[in-house]
A and B are shown apart, each in its own frame.
Chain A
């Protein structure tokens, strides 16, 4: 059995289409429709429609998994930010209590030592307490780095969102391939939407993007901004 569909009319006369652009366009659409139908029939005869259907059925599951990753990584990032906030509070308290204690040790009564060893201990304690503020500042700087690292959720989340859209599109196309038997001229045309570039995933051989903040500043400066 052949793969062509006998119910589909033959293509229009090429001579006639040359003189009439609309007729030519119609002919092309007709032939695309014929090819689609042929492909559909061929896939069915070869048993691939089942596989395509499986692939289509699996795509929602893939989308769910991606959504799950986005949700879990988001929660993880929030948990880290909560921990950073708590650690900052502890650092703040530590710094304030150390400063208060140091002031008390430096008061005449508090810092009065009866022996040279006691005097040294008081001095060392005061030095330590004086250094706590600096340590707290350094810890806060590290906490800021930890906080900033959580922006991965935003960046990966945007990439995931785009992949989900892609999977959805693929799913729709597979579905169409399986059930679409209407002529090409009656199909709804879907233009690929001009999407935003999103996070930079691979900058290799791309001239239309900048790879860092310096690139942004240079570009804006070249435009007079």
Chain B
């Protein structure tokens, strides 16, 4: 993976985007962009190269599951790790995300340590 990986945070709540952005910066990843839903995220992913996606599930226009499905079915995007960070606590949703190709799953509220652990684990796996 890129030495300075480019992250895309997808969440309809600006507060949460900001929190995740700051946490990633604290962890050591300062190259971060934001999108407020799956549609915007998809356009950004197609327009520029991203190394990592951190996505919410419950969003307007295009939710996280739909975004994940499109990413995994697109040849130019399919290898990008997607970490779901969401308030969805239903087992059904977690299984759906895993089977849909999510690289990791974090339930809100979460800690900095949890985010760091999951991101590092995925990065290690990818590289």
Contacts and interface: CB of A to CB of B under 8 A. Distances in A.
B88 A196 contact: yes
12 contacts: A81-B19, A147-B22, A150-B15, A151-B19, A158-B58, A196-B93, A198-B88, A199-B89, A208-B91, A209-B89, A210-B89, A210-B91
Interface string B97-127: 0110000011111111010000000000000
Contacts of B11: 154
B94 interface: yes
Contacts, number: 98
A74 interface: yes
Nearest to A194: B92
Contacts of B110: 213
Contact of A213 (B58, B98, B107): B107
A151 B19 CA distance: 8
A78 interface: yes
Contacts of B92: 208
Contact of B15 (A153, A200, A210, A220): A153
Contacts of B15: 74, 77-78, 81, 150-151, 153-154
A196 B57 contact: yes
A166 interface: no
A223 B98 contact: yes
Interface of B: 11, 13-16, 18-19, 22-23, 26, 57-58, 63, 87-95, 98-99, 105-112, 114
B62 to A, nearest CB: 13
Contacts of B57: 196
Interface string A183-225: 0000000000000111110010000111111011001100101
Contacts of B106: 213, 216
A76 to B, nearest CB: 10
Given A81-B19, A151-B15, A154-B13, A220 B89 contact: no
A33 interface: no
Contacts of B19: 81, 147-148, 150-151
A155 B109 contact: yes
Interface size class of A (residues with CB under 8 A): 35 or more
B90 A209 contact: yes
A169 interface: no
Contact of A220 (B98, B108, B109, B112): B98
A224 to B, nearest CB: 9
A213 B106 CA distance: 6
Contacts of A155: 87, 108-109
B98 A148 contact: no
A198 B87 CA distance: 6
Contact of A148 (B13, B58, B95, B112): B112
Contacts of B105: 216, 220
Contacts of A85: 22
